[in-house]
Amino acid sequence: MINSVLHQDLGLVSYQKVWDYQMVLNKKLIARKRAKGEDMDFAPFHYLLTCEHSPVYTLGKSGDMQNLLLDESQLSKSGFEFFKINRGGDITYHGPGQIVVYPIFDLEYFFRDIHKYVRFLEEVVIRVLAEYEVEATRKDGFTGVWIESNSGPDRKICAIGVHLSRWVTLHGLAFNINSDLSHFKNIIPCGIDSQDKTVTSLEKELGKKVDLNEVKLKIKQHFAALFEYKYV
Protein backbone atom coordinates (compact mmCIF):
# COMPACT_ATOMS: atom_id res chain seq x y z
CA MET A 1 0.00 0.00 0.00
CA ILE A 2 1.47 3.34 -1.07
CA ASN A 3 0.87 6.21 1.33
CA SER A 4 -0.62 9.48 0.09
CA VAL A 5 0.64 12.78 1.45
CA LEU A 6 -1.05 16.12 0.89
CA HIS A 7 1.58 18.84 0.38
CA GLN A 8 0.50 22.31 1.44
CA ASP A 9 2.57 25.50 1.22
CA LEU A 10 1.13 28.00 3.71
CA GLY A 11 3.37 30.93 2.74
CA LEU A 12 4.40 33.54 5.32
CA VAL A 13 2.23 32.93 8.37
CA SER A 14 2.22 33.41 12.13
CA TYR A 15 3.50 30.62 14.35
CA GLN A 16 0.26 30.37 16.31
CA LYS A 17 -1.83 29.89 13.18
CA VAL A 18 0.30 26.99 11.95
CA TRP A 19 0.54 25.47 15.43
CA ASP A 20 -3.26 25.43 15.64
CA TYR A 21 -3.50 23.89 12.16
CA GLN A 22 -0.94 21.21 13.03
CA MET A 23 -3.02 20.27 16.05
CA VAL A 24 -6.19 19.96 13.94
CA LEU A 25 -4.46 17.59 11.52
CA ASN A 26 -2.73 15.65 14.27
CA LYS A 27 -5.97 15.12 16.19
CA LYS A 28 -7.73 14.14 12.98
CA LEU A 29 -5.29 11.28 12.39
CA ILE A 30 -5.41 10.18 16.04
CA ALA A 31 -9.23 10.29 16.12
CA ARG A 32 -9.35 8.08 13.06
CA LYS A 33 -7.25 5.46 14.84
CA ARG A 34 -9.42 5.59 17.96
CA ALA A 35 -12.65 5.34 16.00
CA LYS A 36 -11.72 2.49 13.71
CA GLY A 37 -8.77 0.77 15.32
CA GLU A 38 -5.25 0.51 14.02
CA ASP A 39 -5.75 -2.39 11.56
CA MET A 40 -7.52 -0.67 8.67
CA ASP A 41 -7.63 -1.72 5.07
CA PHE A 42 -6.86 1.74 3.67
CA ALA A 43 -4.29 4.34 4.61
CA PRO A 44 -5.22 7.88 5.63
CA PHE A 45 -3.96 11.03 4.03
CA HIS A 46 -0.85 12.34 5.73
CA TYR A 47 0.27 15.97 5.49
CA LEU A 48 3.47 17.85 4.69
CA LEU A 49 3.26 21.56 5.49
CA THR A 50 5.83 24.13 4.39
CA CYS A 51 5.87 27.76 5.41
CA GLU A 52 7.84 30.78 6.57
CA HIS A 53 7.05 32.30 9.93
CA SER A 54 6.84 35.85 11.16
CA PRO A 55 9.82 36.39 13.53
CA VAL A 56 9.43 34.09 16.53
CA TYR A 57 11.46 32.20 19.12
CA THR A 58 10.24 28.81 20.30
CA LEU A 59 11.45 26.88 23.33
CA GLY A 60 11.17 23.09 23.47
CA LYS A 61 9.90 21.19 26.50
CA SER A 62 13.43 20.41 27.74
CA GLY A 63 14.76 23.89 26.94
CA ASP A 64 16.24 26.45 29.31
CA MET A 65 14.73 29.96 29.49
CA GLN A 66 18.23 31.32 30.11
CA ASN A 67 19.01 30.57 26.47
CA LEU A 68 16.65 33.41 25.50
CA LEU A 69 18.78 36.55 25.83
CA LEU A 70 15.91 39.06 25.59
CA ASP A 71 13.38 39.92 28.29
CA GLU A 72 9.67 40.36 27.63
CA SER A 73 9.88 44.09 26.91
CA GLN A 74 12.83 43.63 24.55
CA LEU A 75 10.93 40.92 22.68
CA SER A 76 7.94 43.21 22.28
CA LYS A 77 10.03 46.18 21.12
CA SER A 78 11.91 44.03 18.61
CA GLY A 79 8.71 42.57 17.15
CA PHE A 80 9.44 38.96 18.09
CA GLU A 81 6.91 36.49 19.41
CA PHE A 82 7.81 33.75 21.87
CA PHE A 83 6.23 30.34 22.50
CA LYS A 84 6.92 27.43 24.83
CA ILE A 85 5.97 24.28 22.93
CA ASN A 86 5.98 20.50 23.31
CA ARG A 87 8.64 19.52 20.80
CA GLY A 88 12.03 18.14 21.76
CA GLY A 89 15.09 20.35 21.76
CA ASP A 90 15.88 23.76 23.20
CA ILE A 91 15.37 27.24 21.75
CA THR A 92 15.38 28.22 18.09
CA TYR A 93 14.40 31.07 15.79
CA HIS A 94 11.95 31.10 12.89
CA GLY A 95 11.50 33.96 10.48
CA PRO A 96 11.19 35.09 6.87
CA GLY A 97 13.66 33.44 4.51
CA GLN A 98 13.68 30.21 6.53
CA ILE A 99 11.71 27.22 5.27
CA VAL A 100 9.92 25.40 8.07
CA VAL A 101 8.59 21.93 7.31
CA TYR A 102 5.94 20.19 9.40
CA PRO A 103 5.27 16.54 8.51
CA ILE A 104 2.03 15.32 10.06
CA PHE A 105 2.55 11.61 9.45
CA ASP A 106 1.08 8.55 11.12
CA LEU A 107 4.34 6.62 11.39
CA GLU A 108 2.43 3.36 11.84
CA TYR A 109 2.06 3.47 8.06
CA PHE A 110 5.78 4.11 7.48
CA PHE A 111 7.89 2.64 10.32
CA ARG A 112 7.82 2.67 14.13
CA ASP A 113 11.24 4.16 14.78
CA ILE A 114 11.65 7.70 16.11
CA HIS A 115 15.41 7.76 15.57
CA LYS A 116 15.00 6.65 11.97
CA TYR A 117 12.37 9.35 11.49
CA VAL A 118 14.73 12.10 12.70
CA ARG A 119 17.55 10.69 10.54
CA PHE A 120 15.20 10.84 7.54
CA LEU A 121 14.42 14.51 8.24
CA GLU A 122 18.14 15.23 8.34
CA GLU A 123 18.69 13.22 5.16
CA VAL A 124 16.12 15.27 3.25
CA VAL A 125 18.09 18.44 3.97
CA ILE A 126 21.46 16.80 3.27
CA ARG A 127 20.18 15.71 -0.15
CA VAL A 128 18.75 19.14 -0.96
CA LEU A 129 22.04 20.80 -0.06
CA ALA A 130 23.94 18.34 -2.25
CA GLU A 131 21.95 19.67 -5.22
CA TYR A 132 23.53 23.06 -4.51
CA GLU A 133 26.97 21.43 -4.18
CA VAL A 134 27.03 22.10 -0.44
CA GLU A 135 28.37 19.15 1.55
CA ALA A 136 26.48 18.71 4.80
CA THR A 137 26.43 16.05 7.47
CA ARG A 138 25.12 14.94 10.85
CA LYS A 139 27.07 15.63 14.01
CA ASP A 140 27.46 13.10 16.83
CA GLY A 141 25.54 14.18 19.91
CA PHE A 142 23.55 16.87 18.09
CA THR A 143 20.39 16.77 15.98
CA GLY A 144 20.04 18.79 12.82
CA VAL A 145 22.23 19.29 9.77
CA TRP A 146 25.73 20.74 9.88
CA ILE A 147 28.45 22.00 7.57
CA GLU A 148 31.82 21.10 9.00
CA SER A 149 34.88 23.33 8.79
CA ASN A 150 38.59 22.67 9.13
CA SER A 151 39.45 26.30 9.78
CA GLY A 152 36.52 27.73 11.74
CA PRO A 153 33.37 26.83 13.65
CA ASP A 154 31.06 24.11 12.39
CA ARG A 155 27.90 25.70 11.02
CA LYS A 156 24.34 24.54 11.69
CA ILE A 157 22.02 25.11 8.76
CA CYS A 158 18.95 23.17 9.87
CA ALA A 159 17.37 22.62 13.29
CA ILE A 160 15.06 19.70 14.05
CA GLY A 161 12.58 19.16 16.87
CA VAL A 162 9.70 16.69 16.90
CA HIS A 163 6.89 15.35 19.06
CA LEU A 164 4.86 12.15 18.64
CA SER A 165 1.49 11.10 20.03
CA ARG A 166 0.24 7.60 19.18
CA TRP A 167 2.92 7.59 16.46
CA VAL A 168 1.47 10.72 14.82
CA THR A 169 4.09 13.42 14.34
CA LEU A 170 4.16 17.14 15.12
CA HIS A 171 6.74 19.89 14.50
CA GLY A 172 9.63 19.18 12.17
CA LEU A 173 12.59 21.05 10.68
CA ALA A 174 13.72 24.65 10.15
CA PHE A 175 16.04 25.12 7.16
CA ASN A 176 17.89 28.45 6.92
CA ILE A 177 17.79 29.62 3.31
CA ASN A 178 17.77 33.45 3.14
CA SER A 179 17.43 33.89 6.90
CA ASP A 180 18.45 37.01 8.82
CA LEU A 181 21.16 35.34 10.90
CA SER A 182 21.48 38.36 13.22
CA HIS A 183 18.26 37.23 14.90
CA PHE A 184 20.08 34.18 16.25
CA LYS A 185 22.22 36.52 18.35
CA ASN A 186 19.26 37.01 20.72
CA ILE A 187 19.39 33.34 21.77
CA ILE A 188 21.82 30.53 22.44
CA PRO A 189 20.62 28.46 19.45
CA CYS A 190 19.47 24.99 20.47
CA GLY A 191 21.22 25.63 23.81
CA ILE A 192 24.64 25.17 22.16
CA ASP A 193 26.99 27.79 23.61
CA SER A 194 30.31 26.97 22.01
CA GLN A 195 33.00 28.91 20.16
CA ASP A 196 33.41 26.10 17.63
CA LYS A 197 29.74 26.06 16.53
CA THR A 198 27.58 28.69 14.86
CA VAL A 199 24.59 29.02 12.51
CA THR A 200 24.54 29.60 8.77
CA SER A 201 22.18 29.80 5.82
CA LEU A 202 22.21 28.56 2.24
CA GLU A 203 22.46 32.18 1.10
CA LYS A 204 25.59 32.66 3.19
CA GLU A 205 27.17 29.43 1.96
CA LEU A 206 26.51 30.22 -1.71
CA GLY A 207 27.06 33.98 -1.50
CA LYS A 208 23.74 34.75 -3.17
CA LYS A 209 19.98 34.73 -2.59
CA VAL A 210 18.22 31.43 -3.24
CA ASP A 211 14.79 30.86 -4.78
CA LEU A 212 12.63 29.60 -1.88
CA ASN A 213 10.08 27.96 -4.16
CA GLU A 214 12.85 26.00 -5.85
CA VAL A 215 14.07 24.73 -2.47
CA LYS A 216 10.54 23.84 -1.36
CA LEU A 217 10.07 21.72 -4.49
CA LYS A 218 13.33 19.87 -3.84
CA ILE A 219 12.29 19.28 -0.21
CA LYS A 220 8.97 17.78 -1.32
CA GLN A 221 10.65 15.55 -3.88
CA HIS A 222 13.19 14.19 -1.42
CA PHE A 223 10.55 13.62 1.26
CA ALA A 224 8.52 11.56 -1.21
CA ALA A 225 11.58 9.56 -2.30
CA LEU A 226 12.80 8.79 1.23
CA PHE A 227 9.42 8.02 2.78
CA GLU A 228 8.26 6.28 -0.41
CA TYR A 229 4.89 7.97 -0.84
CA LYS A 230 2.96 9.73 -3.57
CA TYR A 231 2.05 13.35 -3.02
CA VAL A 232 -1.02 15.29 -4.05
Indicate which residues carry an active-site annotation: 190
Alpha-carbon distance 203 to 122, whole Å?
A: 19
Instruction: Please check whether residue 103 is in contact with residue 169, taking contact to mean a CB–CB distance below 8 angstroms.
Output: yes
Alpha-carbon distance 46 to 40, whole Å?
A: 15
69: phi then psi, degrees, rounded to nearest 5 = -95, 5
Q: Please, which residues bridge with residue 48 across strands?
A: 7, 103
**Among candidate residues 229, 226, 213, 218, the one with its CA nearest the CA of residue 9:** 213
